[in-house]
Each structure stands twice: as C-alpha cells, then as structure tokens.
A = this chain, B = another copy of it.
Amino acid sequence: MGATKTDLFTKQQNDIANMAKALAHPARIAILQHLVKINACIGGDLVEELGLAQATISQHLKELKAVGLIQGTVEGTSICYCINPKTWMQYRNLFDKFFDSSVTEGSCC
C-alpha cells in the first residue's frame, strides 16, 4: 500500500485532487505568484528568488509544466517561464465550481 487508490473515485475527483497536489507546495505557490507578479517571463532567477537548489527548482518547474500551469520557451541558454492563462483559468473555474457548492450555515450538527 501507500499508493492512492484512484480507481475508487470519479475522474472529476481525481482531477481536483491532482490540481490541488500541484499547488500543495509553498515553492510552487511562490513560483506562480512570482510569475503572476512579474507578468512577463523570467529565467532561472527563481533559483535566487527562492532559496532552493537549482535541481530542486527545476523539479518544481517540471511539475508545474506537467499540469500545464506554466509554459517555458527557450531563449538563448536560458528559459523563459510564464503562466499558461488557459490552464490557469481552468483551475480557477474548477475550484470555483467546487467551492460554490452552497454550504448552508447551521444545517448541521
């Protein structure tokens, strides 16, 4: 054991969980916030910005790329990263929908 039993759940549930997983690390949050703030792209200044080793940052970037939250284009020897607006909106919508489920106060224990 130790592995998530994804087959027990709906695709939507696994999707939301995977999205959440992509955001479930402060380094990845910091990367996304930095990219949003700078708006334009940056290279591996992220390594300096956050205090983690280059290899570690690279790994986090890879994860964010894997879920489509960011994109990177080669620019000389460095790589220009930025938010992928399309996926960003998708995330936003899914979370919105998830949380919009009306939670009526006092209808419970």
Contacts and interface: CB of A to CB of B under 8 A. Distances in A.
* Max chain B Cβ within 10 angstroms of own Cβ: one of A28, A50, A99, A107: A99
A85 interface: yes
Interface in A11-50: 13-14, 16-18, 20-30, 33, 36-37, 39-41, 50
B33 A25 contact: no
Q: This chain: how many copies in the complex?
A: 2
A25 to B, nearest CB: 5
Contacts of A109: 41, 71-73, 75, 80-82
B88 A99 contact: yes
Interface string A1-18: 000111011100110111
Contacts of A77: none
B5 A104 contact: no
Interface of A: 4-6, 8-10, 13-14, 16-18, 20-30, 33, 36-37, 39-41, 50-52, 71-73, 75, 80-83, 85, 88-89, 91-92, 95-96, 98-99, 101, 103-105, 107-109
